[in-house]
Amino acid sequence: MKNKKNILTIISICIFFCSFKSENYFESSKSFIVEDKPNYLALYGEYIFKRESCNNCHTFNQTKDTSFVSLDGLKGKYPASWHYNNFIDPQLFAPDSKMPPYFVLFDQKLNQSIFKQIYPNQKLSDWELLLSQAKLIQKSIQEDGETVESDTEVLALIEFLNNIPQSKELQKLDSLKNIQMKMKESIWLNEISDDNSGVYKVISDKNSSIIGKEIFKSNCAVCHGENGEGMIGPNLTDSYWLSGGDQKSIIKSIVYGNPEKGSIPWAYILEPKEVGQLVGYINSIKGSNPKNAKPKQGIKE
């Protein structure tokens, strides 16, 4: 008798947790499509996720356990065609990938009687809605130039993946990161506007050009060349500048970059001292006429 009670308790605990977990997705799915309706296609995808034991390698939370890959906050991270390709050939995106391909997802069609098991109290219109959701995913994949048959399971799994929300922990981490970025931004604002700030002072330090050279080699040379002669990025040794050659402009070019033109903002990566040292180095190579110099770009200063 006592044993039976124990078993019942365990079962109810399990039901509580299991329903808690799936309700999480249910809720997130709910917000996705038409009001009051859960995201049927995503629910179907969740079922496939479990059936294929994707959770042998994946979790939905950031964990310290590196044997699992977290899919936390995957919502909106990749277009449908990315997932499509990842299921055909995971090594396309991660050359050493341990993830197997999943051709079965492209062979098996979505099945109404399975959907009845996943979502028992459904109406015919729910199933039709699910199929129309699948068509949207199919369309988006086709627009990216891939072919995929209609009503295949892969469409549901992609919908599920594309609706995995951020966990509370990840949200916290993200907002922490945001705060840190904001702090860095305001530090830079002060550094750049005040002519007596650290970054300007460091530039003329005796050792700056030597230390700056090392920083340059490991961070900048890939795009500006070993000696600043220019490659993807412009030549930094001539007297032509795209964004200004005075000290303030050079600092700004490094700190804020020009992401649209392929120039990285270093504000979040380098400290003011390091940027000052880099400018010291850039000053020291001015007029050095390195080999293979890239033709002039910008305005002479």
254 is an interface residue for ligand HEC by CB under 6 A: yes
Size of the site for ligand HEC (CB under 6 A): 42
Stretch that binds ligand HEC, among 4-12, 28-36, 83-91, 136-144 (CB under 6 A): 83-91
Name the residue nearer to ligand HEC (CB basis): 141 or 224: 224
223 is an interface residue for ligand HEC by CB under 6 A: yes
> Is the distance from CB of 110 to CB of 42 less than 8 angstroms?
no
> Is the distance from CB of 212 to CB of 277 less than 8 angstroms?
yes
* Residue found by looking up tokens 């390195």 in the block: 290
44 is an interface residue for ligand HEC by CB under 6 A: no
98 is an interface residue for ligand HEC by CB under 6 A: yes
* Residue found by looking up tokens 């009001």 in the block: 35
Stretch that binds ligand HEC, among 12-20, 113-121, 168-176, 235-243 (CB under 6 A): 235-243
Stretch that binds ligand HEC, among 109-117, 146-154, 171-179, 238-246 (CB under 6 A): 238-246
Stretch that binds ligand HEC, among 32-40, 111-119, 185-193, 230-238 (CB under 6 A): 230-238
Q: How far is the CB of 126 from ligand HEC (least distance, A)?
A: 24
Residues 6+ apart with CB under 8 A from 244: 250, 252, 253, 301
Q: How far is the CB of 54 from ligand HEC (least distance, A)?
A: 3
Stretch that binds ligand HEC, among 107-115, 127-135, 193-201, 241-249 (CB under 6 A): 241-249
**24, 30, 90, 151: which one binds ligand HEC (CB under 6 A):** 90
Binding mask 182-221 for ligand HEC (x = CB under 6 A): -------------------------------------xx-
The Cα–Cα gap between 61 and 2 comes to 36
The Cα–Cα gap between 266 and 269 comes to 5
The Cα–Cα gap between 276 and 200 comes to 6
C-beta pairs of 70-76 under 8 Å, 24+ apart in sequence: 71/161, 71/164, 72/164, 72/166, 72/167, 72/169, 72/170, 73/164, 73/165, 73/166, 73/167, 73/170, 74/161, 74/162, 74/164, 75/28, 75/162, 75/163, 75/164, 75/165, 75/166, 76/162
The site for ligand HEC (CB under 6 A) is made up of 49, 52, 54, 56-58, 69, 71, 74, 83, 86, 90, 94, 97-99, 102, 157, 161, 219-220, 222-224, 232-234, 236, 241-243, 250, 253-254, 258, 261-264, 266, 278, 298
